């Protein structure tokens, strides 16, 4: 056995099932993959939370989902309603996208109120809250640092880098994104309170990616390449 065991690494992964084109058949198949590899959770499209809850009953895989996804633009009341709905449907982990325009406008009172109101609902239902910054849209570290401070003050469970869908339009008209960079992960781990965990999402596609961010203090990753990562882990460290 090597430095890590496969189960430890599997329990870092939120198996991401959020692509708009995924059908119910796709979601069922991928819930079964999550169960087979005993990952931390699935992060499934909100309407499919009941499906995932039923499919994963009796397993060690938690049901997670997203709200305000992927651009963070719904009104606070709408995000609160979404949070109430997904918790009622069986989600025990909720990833919310902040209002990115409000962050860029430095309307920190609004941002704080939004996170606080969603957090009250999520924690009131015994679930965990992960706050997505969408770092590709934030041009300076000051925004990320202030978000870490707010999330620490409010005692959210995780701060998270990205949605995986925050594409930035370049001068050539093409869209791209960096996702979870080492710089941002180090920054978030440094400025979030010790009890606030860090989740990396966007670009975690290999076992080496997973191990690299783990060394930076990341405890969860969002991944679609779960099978590739964990099969490689089995080969490297034993099953």
Q: Known catalytic residue: 199?
A: yes
CATH number of 6-237: 3.20.20.70
Catalytic residue among 95, 136, 157, 184: 95
pLDDT surpasses 70 at 2: no
Q: Which residue has the tokens 């010790």?
A: 194
Q: What is the pTM of this model?
A: 0.96
Beta strand extents in 79-185 (DSSP E only)? 93-97, 128-132, 158-160, 168-169, 175-176
Q: Look at residues 68, 67, 72 and name the one whose alpha carbon lies nearest to residue 105.
A: 72
Catalytic residue among 45, 62, 144, 199: 199
pLDDT surpasses 80 at 8: yes
Q: Are the C-beta atoms of 199 and 218 separated by less than 8 Å? A: yes
pLDDT surpasses 50 at 1: no
- Domain map of the chain by residue range? 6-237
Q: Are the C-beta atoms of 16 and 224 separated by less than 8 Å? A: yes
Q: Which residue has the tokens 């202030």?
A: 146
Q: Known catalytic residue: 160?
A: yes
Instruction: Give the three-state DSSP class for 106.
Output: coil
151 prior amide bond cis, ω within 30: no
For residue 127, count other CB atoms closer than 10 A to its CB: 21
């Amino acid at each position: 056995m090597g430095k890590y065991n496969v189960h430890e690494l599997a329990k870092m992964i939120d198996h991401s099932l959020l692509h708009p084109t995924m059908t119910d058949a796709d979601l069922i198949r991928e819930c079964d993959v999550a169960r087979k590899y005993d990952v931390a959770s699935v992060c499934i499209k909100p309407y499919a939370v009941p499906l995932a809850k039923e499919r994963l009953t009796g397993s060690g895989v938690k049901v997670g989902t997203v709200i305000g996804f992927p651009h963070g633009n719904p009104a606070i009341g709408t995000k609160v309603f979404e949070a109430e709905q997904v918790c009622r449907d069986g989600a025990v982990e909720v990833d919310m996208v902040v209002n990115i325009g409000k962050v860029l406008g430095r309307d920190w009172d609004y941002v704080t109120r939004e996170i606080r109101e969603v957090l009250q609902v999520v924690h009131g239902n015994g679930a965990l809250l992960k706050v997505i910054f969408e770092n590709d849209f934030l041009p300076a570290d000051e925004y990320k640092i202030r978000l870490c401070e707010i999330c620490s003050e409010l005692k959210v469970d995780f701060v998270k880098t990205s949605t995986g869908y925050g594409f930035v339009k370049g001068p050539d008209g093409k869209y791209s994104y960096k996702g979870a960079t080492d710089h941002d992960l180090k920054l978030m781990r440094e400025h979030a309170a010790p009890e606030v965990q860090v989740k990396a999402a966007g670009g975690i596609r290999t076992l080496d990616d997973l191990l690299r961010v783990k060394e930076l203090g990341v405890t969860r990753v969002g991944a679609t390449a779960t099978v590739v990562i964990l099969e490689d882990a089995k080969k490297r460290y034993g099953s």
